[in-house]
A and B are shown apart, each in its own frame.
Chain A
């Protein structure tokens, strides 16, 4: 049940921000500080999430096959690979490292 509540809240919230962008008069969110913050907030969130999902195991920090996989994704990004190749590289390398190291 708790999960359904989380899904409901997320769905409503995420739809509302999408529709607000399309409906609100452009001037309202055009203040420079608001725009700067809106551009930087996803940067902070995505960076923190990437780091956590790469190095976290519950409440502990670990260095395992995921780090190799995400590093492979980073290399693919530097080589300007398409989105699916980037994700695929992470998955394949992670699986490969786990298979090799047991």
Chain B
């Protein structure tokens, strides 16, 4: 029993971790609801985004691009590219969770940053499953409820800028970005993307600069590959 409790985290501890993350993130749906309504979306459109898209960064990106007057398909493309990371979360999770194939299409909607972070932090398969499920239920329920309240309350809130709510979107992005900036490669990609995103903003149609900025990823990979990929070539160049 003692060895058992030492090795495995108790179910209660997993549930507490999952609830902590789920409640904090779920409540920020309010900021999304207000932002979306402030950007001119109806309550139904705002709620549809949280129910069907359910990946916060993509939702904020879509709404931000639409508010800036972006073409709907360019806006959707940016949101989609941001969502692509969830495919790689799913790859990791599918091994950890080992779900029956019939359940996977239903579990898929919950494959997001937060459920992945909680699930992958658990020591056993049982804990992983509990962490994923509790975080998924909590975030999904609260995110959609607070989106609805935010969208409804947007009129009462009035000017979202006065309440600083236009800073919620970039703060969410920054919170998701920060843990990814581990190595110089990541920092170089982020720096180049900022330069491209801001530099091209005045000259390209809304939404397009972000797509161009995503090219920072292959560009930095390519530059690094050239720099260190072929040491024999570099040595050769020096001897000549």
Contact = CB atoms under 8 A, between A and B. Distances in A.
Interface of A: 2-7, 9-11, 13-15, 17-24, 26, 29-30, 33, 35-56, 58-61, 65-66, 69-70, 73-74, 77, 82-84, 86-87, 89-96, 98-99
Interface string B37-78: 000010001001100111101101110101011001101101
Contacts of B174: 46, 50, 70, 73-74, 77, 86
A40 B189 contact: yes
Interface in B75-126: 75-76, 78-91, 93-95, 99, 101, 104-105, 107-109, 111
B167 A70 contact: yes
B227 interface: no
A45 B174 CA distance: 11
Interface of B: 20-21, 24-25, 27-28, 31, 41, 45, 48-49, 52-55, 57-58, 60-62, 64, 66, 68-69, 72-73, 75-76, 78-91, 93-95, 99, 101, 104-105, 107-109, 111, 161-178, 180-181, 185-186, 189-194, 196-198, 201-202, 206, 209-210, 213-218, 220-221
| Interface of A, helix, strand, loop or mixed by DSSP | helix
Contact of B93 (A9, A21, A49, A73): A21
Contacts of B189: 40, 43-44, 47
B221 to A, nearest CB: 6
A36 B218 CA distance: 9
B171 A58 contact: no
A14 B53 contact: yes
Given A6-B73, A6-B75, A21-B86, A90 B168 contact: yes
